[in-house]
Amino acid sequence: MNILIINAGSSSLKYQLMDPETGVVSAKGLCERIGIDGRLNHKVGENKVTKDIPMPTHSEAIAATLAILQDAECGVIKSVDEIDAVGHRVLHGGMEFFDSCIINDEVIAAIKKCIPLGPLHNPANLMGIEACQAVMPTTPQVAVFDTAFHMTMPPKAYRYAIPTEYYENDSIRRYGFHGTSHKYVAKRTAQLVGKTEFKMVNCHLGNGSSMSAVKDGKCQDTTMGLTPLAGVPMGTRSGDIDAAVVQFICNKYGMSVDECLNMLNKKSGMLAMSGVSSDFRDLEDGANNGNEDCALARAKFCYEVAKYVGAYAAALNGIDVLTFTAGVGENDSAVRADVCEYLGFLGVKIDPELNKKRGKEMMISTPDSKVQVWVVPTNEELMIAQDTAELVNAAK
């Protein structure tokens, strides 16, 4: 079965053609500079092709993607008919969607209804969907929502302590993001530990970071909120902050609220604290070379991650498994070690030698650790492909 996975941004479109059963990716690529001039980067195995192709809209990007997938020299299929379905990553499902679903007119209308909650991403996601529908009208399309996995949270976790009218009238609540990654890691971890009923905290750590408390495969709480700004500090995002800071900065520096939020989203986090970079590798190099600001930024990040592990251990009444995933979680052994250093009260012990490995699926805890600690490389695309295949096969 061939599933085409589409992740559409405002001026870009990522794609992969994948077999959901084996996870084998036959081709992948990126259409960028949509609406400007257009460039297609295509990869099959180790072979890379770059083409400048006019892409005024996402429709041209989809057409270029399908064309290169069928190209005589660098394609992998002979006809679009070989694509069994398309799985679309959609950022925000609001309170409309609790799971992935086959796209129809009602689903498109509901995604449009969620645009106020995802004003930057949902319109782009819709453009990708509508472009695929125009070029592939008979091919099933599936929406996989970044927020869906977290919709099992109880009200005590997702409600904000603000007047109820804002929840009832405006759907203001905690939603959480990176849901496809958290779902994949929860599912894969159950396979690794050999059971489905256990308590885990998953640390999706990267330039964007989020954490989830999961019980028996269902999310109980997560760090991001109405938007991806909440939670631990990230590459350029501040993470949790006293809301009055926004008022103070706006009043003192004559900023608008939008300008202040732009600062909190794009000019804060590790970039702001270090004054050097949002990349954790640069922070490690800086810290090793005596840059105290880089060292402080990394220490702040690990401290906040550990605090949330402790909070979620309380929320779950204990944890059985702690997982690390995403770019930093999978590859930065020092961050994992520093986070786990705080967790001795939970009985967490990791093997320093095992922890040195990078990017590999492995258990890094010692045999006498009371909590299993795993590194589980995430695979959001595989999760999208599997969700898509499951829905399409069930509909046949």
Structure token pair of residue 364: 């890094």
C-alpha to C-alpha distance for 90 and 148, rounded to whole angstroms: 10
Q: Find the catalytic residue in 71, 146, 285, 368.
A: 146
Classify residue 389 as exposed, middle or buried by CB count within 10 Å of its CB (0-12, 13-18, 19+): buried
Is 146 among the catalytic positions?
A: yes
Q: Please write down the HEC assignment for all residues of the chain.
A: CCEEEEEECCCEEEEEEECCCCCCEEEEEEEECCCCCCEEEEEECCEEEEEECCCCCHHHHHHHHHHHHCCCCCCCCCCHHHCCEEEEEECCCCCCCCCCEECCHHHHHHHHHCCCCCCCCHHHHHHHHHHHHHHCCCCCEEEEECCHHHHHCCHHHHCCCCCHHHHHHHCCCCCCCCHHHHHHHHHHHHHHHCCCCCEEEEEECCCCCEEEEEECCEEEEECCCCCCCCCCCCCCCCCCCCCHHHHHHHHHHCCCHHHHHHHHHHCCHHHHHHCCCCCHHHHHHHHHCCCHHHHHHHHHHHHHHHHHHHHHHHHHCCCCEEEEEHHHHHHCHHHHHHHHHHHHHHCCCECHHHHCCCCCCEECECCCCCCEEEECCCCHHHHHHHHHHHHHHHHC
Catalytic residue IDs: 146
